[in-house]
Amino acid sequence: MFVGKIIGTVVATRKDPKLEGRKLLIVRPLDENMKGKKDYLVAVDTVSAGFHEQVLVVQGSSARMAFGMKDCPVDSAIIGIVDSFVIEDKTGAGQ
Amino acid sequence: MFVGKIIGTVVATRKDPKLEGRKLLIVRPLDENMKGKKDYLVAVDTVSAGFHEQVLVVQGSSARMAFGMKDCPVDSAIIGIVDSFVIEDKTGAGQ
Amino acid sequence: MFVGKIIGTVVATRKDPKLEGRKLLIVRPLDENMKGKKDYLVAVDTVSAGFHEQVLVVQGSSARMAFGMKDCPVDSAIIGIVDSFVIEDKTGAGQ
Amino acid sequence: MFVGKIIGTVVATRKDPKLEGRKLLIVRPLDENMKGKKDYLVAVDTVSAGFHEQVLVVQGSSARMAFGMKDCPVDSAIIGIVDSFVIEDKTGAGQ
Amino acid sequence: MFVGKIIGTVVATRKDPKLEGRKLLIVRPLDENMKGKKDYLVAVDTVSAGFHEQVLVVQGSSARMAFGMKDCPVDSAIIGIVDSFVIEDKTGAGQ
C-alpha cells in the first residue's frame, strides 16, 4: 500500500455497470516527506474520503477485497484515512 | 486505474479463441495535464469507445472483471469514457 | 497487453512439471514505432508464433487464461500474431 | 519478495473493516548492500516485526496468503524476520 | 518470466508458517547478454537450483502455481534451470 492525497475527481457517464454509483478520485502518491510525486492514479473510494485528505491506497487484485468492491473492475481502492504517518528513521535513505 | 487516449488499433487474425470478436485498442496514457506520455498499451474495449476519446483503463486481473471479460486473457480493459477529469489541487506535485 | 517481437528461445530441461512441452520464447517489447526496447522477457507461446513475428503478449495472472495455460506457473503468454498495428495519432506523445 | 527495514508506522482510524486491529508499518526497501532505497511502502505486519528490523516482504495477491490475511485488502505483507542475507557473488552487477 | 542468476541466500527463522522448510534464494536478474542487472529479488526455489546457476523466474500470483507452492505467500518462484538462452536477433534493441 502507499499513502496519497486526494487531488480531484473523475466523472464517467458511460462506464462498466459495476462502476455505477462509485466515486472515482484522483490520488497523488506522496513521498516519505508527504510531498506529492509527479504522478497520479484513479482510485475508487470506499471510506468516504474527502478532498485533500491523506489516504491509504491498495492496488492490484486486493483492491477488490475493499468494502463493497467484490468482482468490480477496479485495480486501486482507497481503504483508509491516514491520521498519522511517522517515520522514526530517516537516516536510511540512500545510505 | 488511469486515464488514456485511444490512438489506434491492433488487428490479430491468429489469436487466442477467447479474444475472437474483441476490439483491441492502442491507448496512450495521459498525464495529469491530459498530455500524452511516451508510451502505449493495448487494451480490450468494453464500452464501445471511439477514436481519440479519453478513457478509463483498469489493469491486471481486474481487467477480467470488466463486462464480458470473465476468464479472458486480457490484462488491460477500457471500462469508461471520461467526461471530466478535474484536478483541484495542482500545487502538490514535487512540492 | 503490449506488442513484442520474438527474438530467441529459452531451453530448460529441469523445470516445473507443468512447463513440460511448453515453448518458451524470448520477446523484445516494441515501442509505438515498432522499434525494439532495450529489454526482454520470457513468454510461453500459445499461438505457434514464429521467429521474428510481431506478437501480442499478456502479463500477470491473465497469462494463465491463455489457451491451455490453466494453473500453469507462467506470468507472460503470447496470445496473438499481430497483423496490423496502426497508430492514427502520433502527435500526442509528450505534448 | 524483497528485503526491507521497518522505519515507521501508519495510523488510520477510519479504514476498511478488515483492517481493524492490523499493524501497518512503513518499510524502506533495501538494496543488496542493505542500504535503504529512496522509497517506502506500507505493509501489514504478520510476524510481530519490530522497529528497525530487516524483514521479508511479499507483494501482490500473495500478500493475502500471509497468516491471517485471507480476503484482506492488502497488497504488501511482512512475512519474515531476516536473520541473514548473504550474497556470495557481488561481481555480477553491471558486468 | 525472466532469467536470473542465483547469487545468495536469505535465512529467516521467524516467518510465515507456510514458508517453513522453503529455500529462499537471492536472484540477480540478467540482461539479454546474460550480464547482471543492478538489482535483486528473493525467490522461493522449487527446482533445487544451485549457486550460480541461471534460472527461470516467475512472478506474481503465478509463483503460487509452481510445484508445491499452492496458497503460499510467495510472489517469485524459481521454476527452471536454464540450459540455453539464445537470442538470434540482437539488432532490434533501440533500433
Domains of chain E plus CATH, in order, are: 2-81 (2.40.50.220)
Task: Output the average pLDDT for chain D.
Answer: 94
Mean pLDDT of B41-46: 98
Q: Where is average pLDDT lowest: A77-91, D15-29, E5-19?
A: A77-91
- pLDDT at position E88 is 86
- pLDDT at position B27 is 98
- Residues forming a β-bridge with A24: A10, A44
Whether the per-residue pLDDT at E61 is higher than 50: the answer is yes
Q: D92 contacts in E (CB within 8 Å)?
A: 5, 7, 28, 35-36
Give me the residues of chain C with pLDDT under 70, please: 90-95
**B21 has a chain A CB within 8 A of its CB:** no
Residue C31 CB coordination number (10 Å): 15
Looking at residue D71, the DSSP 8-state letter turns out to be T
Task: Output the average pLDDT for chain B.
Answer: 94
- Chains with ≥3 Cβ pairs under 8 A against D? A, E
Rounded Cα distance, E19 and E25, in Å: 13
Nearest CA in chain A to D42: A1
Rounded Cα distance, A55 and A79, in Å: 7
Whether the per-residue pLDDT at A6 is higher than 90: the answer is yes
Mean pLDDT of D48-61: 96
Rounded Cα distance, B63 and E12, in Å: 36
Q: A24-78: per-residue pLDDT in tens?
A: 999 999 999 999 999 999 999 999 999 999 999 999 999 999 999 999 999 999 9
- Cα distances from A13 to residues A6, A18, C57, in angstroms, run 21, 12, 31
Mean pLDDT of D44-55: 96
A–B interface: beta-carbon pairs under 8 A: 117
Select from C63, C85, C87 the Cβ nearest to the Cβ of B73: C63
Select from A43, A73, A76 the Cβ nearest to the Cβ of B79: A73
Q: A76 contacts in B (CB within 8 Å)?
A: 1
What is the pLDDT confidence band of residue D90, given thresholds at 50, 70 and 90? low
Q: Name residue, grid cell 482510485.
A: A43
- pLDDT at position C93 is 57
- pLDDT at position D22 is 97
**E65 has a chain D CB within 8 A of its CB:** no
Half-sphere exposure in the Cβ direction for B23 (13 Å, CA): 14
pTM score of the predicted model: 0.95
3-state secondary structure A2-42: EEEEEEEEEECCCECHHHCCCCEEEEEEECCCCCECCCCEE
Name the more confident of B92 and E57: E57
Hey, which residues 38-57 in chain C have their CB within 8 Å of chain E?
38-43, 51-52
Mean pLDDT of B48-69: 97
Whether the per-residue pLDDT at D93 is higher than 70: the answer is no
- Cα distances from A81 to residues A2, A47, A74, C21, C22, in angstroms, run 12, 8, 19, 50, 47
- pLDDT at position B95 is 43
CB A46 within 8 A of CB D14: no
Q: Do E56 and C12 touch (CB under 8 A)?
A: yes
